[in-house]
Structure 1
């Protein structure tokens, strides 16, 4: 990689971080109105997709682009929940594919991976059972999405992918769990919204920086 390419990469990452911060600040009075806020929400992750594509990590770029579409769907008024679930489900399938390729090339991580995988499976099943009564019309898509993100995270902890990417997968599970608490359990304390966005953005940065060298 040339110095120019490296510099442009850092510019893309920095711009993505600034855009993500600006979206967070809209919750604290930053005057960006609808529908501009929809574009703002998706733009930071879209820049991460551009960064990944420039590094020839095309599956990663596709996963990030699908995530950006999901962000836009959830920011619309009213939110397009089913389309958002589908977009993020597609992103997690792509992330899972990357982790699976890593797993097949480098074998399993070992005892730590098995323990984390078992804990994730138990957590995912418990959350699904607990949230089912409040899912209503979203029962089927939400249950399928739960299985997809859980499978992605389990593949992450079992693979020998960089720990930065594994942390990203786990943070994604945490972020989506907080969203589910609001959607299906009507649990929405003041800190939940910022926590969802912060964990989500950090997750995407960790996945990007951890997986960009996979070049899939």
Structure 2
């Protein structure tokens, strides 16, 4: 390993530590909102996500000579995820912030799927299994709500898109076990979104639900971004 590569590894390791400190710090130093659904601060949420954007582009710089497209797609996916975070936090002034966030996350997952397909051949069985899981999750969490608005319908292809990412990532992991981090990250992302959907569509208000969303979503994105380490 040359000096530049060694420095990059230290930089990427430092970013991972910084991400964890910001995420945990945002929770520890935060105060529960009036409903008690979230303690995590805005800077903890957006700051930790921004660090992962920097890490993702750093991985692209590290890998661009050997795996340029794959690392680039993961960096784009993480960047779009950060845009989704800004939308969901209502930092970006959108009339329908939920649809804006879903659109950004959805495009990010298209990039993640493309990246996964570049790592390993397509595994139809794992994809179909996770599509079923995604569809069941959507039906149980979203569709049984009696209001059934247009957004409820849009949530189905969105859930299937996230499930497709998990299916592709699982297929990659079945062929290359070290890429299990990619698969676990994708599965956690899907889980986080289903928990968030109980808030958005079922008005769930149980204590700490917003923090549970972030303590599944944040590690999900970190695992996806740092799965690039196995391509070195």
TM bucket, shorter chain:
0.7 to 0.9
Instruction: State the match for 1:96 in structure 2.
Output: 113
Q: Is the 8 A contact 2:57 2:72 kept in 1?
A: no
Instruction: State the match for 1:44 in structure 2.
Output: 51
Aligned length: 207
Query: Structure 1, residues 12-56: CA drift from partner, whole Å, max 9, x if none?
Result: 22222222223334643699987x677536423323333323323
Consecutive unaligned residues in structure 2, runs of 5 or more = 34-38, 65-70
Consecutive unaligned residues in structure 1, runs of 5 or more = none
Query: Partners of 1:50 and 1:6 in 2: how far apart?
Result: 13
Q: Is the 8 A contact 1:89 1:148 kept in 2?
A: yes
Q: Is the 8 A contact 2:129 2:167 kept in 1?
A: no
Q: Is the 8 A contact 2:186 2:224 kept in 1?
A: yes
Instruction: State the match for 2:168 in structure 1.
Output: 155
TM-score with structure 2 setting the length: 0.76
Matched, 1:67 2:81: yes
CA 1:40–1:135 in structure 2 vs 1: closer, same or farther (change >3 Å)? farther
Aligned with residue 200 of structure 2, among 156, 162, 183:
183
Secondary structure of 1:21's counterpart equals helix
Query: Partners of 1:32 and 1:205 in 2: how far apart?
Result: 18
Query: Structure 1, residues 114-145: CA drift from partner, whole Å, max 9, x if none?
Result: 4x545423322222223123552413432221
Instruction: State the match for 1:28 in structure 2.
Output: 31
Q: Is the 8 A contact 1:60 1:95 kept in 2?
A: yes
Instruction: State the match for 1:128 in structure 2.
Output: 138
Q: Is the 8 A contact 2:57 2:75 kept in 1?
A: yes
Q: How does 1:155-174 map to 2 (within 5 A)?
A: 155-159=168-172, 160-161=175-176, 162-174=179-191
CA 1:48–1:20 in structure 2 vs 1: closer, same or farther (change >3 Å)? farther
Query: Partners of 1:33 and 1:211 in 2: how far apart?
Result: 29
Q: How does 1:2-13 map to 2 (within 5 A)?
A: 2-13=5-16
Query: Structure 1, residues 146-201: CA drift from partner, whole Å, max 9, x if none?
Result: 12111111111122351111111111111111011111122231132211101111
Report runs of 4+ in structure 1 exceeding 4 Å deviation: 29-34, 36-39, 116-119, 212-215
Q: Is the 8 A contact 2:166 2:183 kept in 1?
A: yes
Secondary structure of 2:120's counterpart equals helix
Q: Is the 8 A contact 2:109 2:165 kept in 1?
A: yes
CA 1:154–1:190 in structure 2 vs 1: closer, same or farther (change >3 Å)? same
Q: How does 1:75-86 map to 2 (within 5 A)?
A: 75-76=89-90, 80-86=97-103
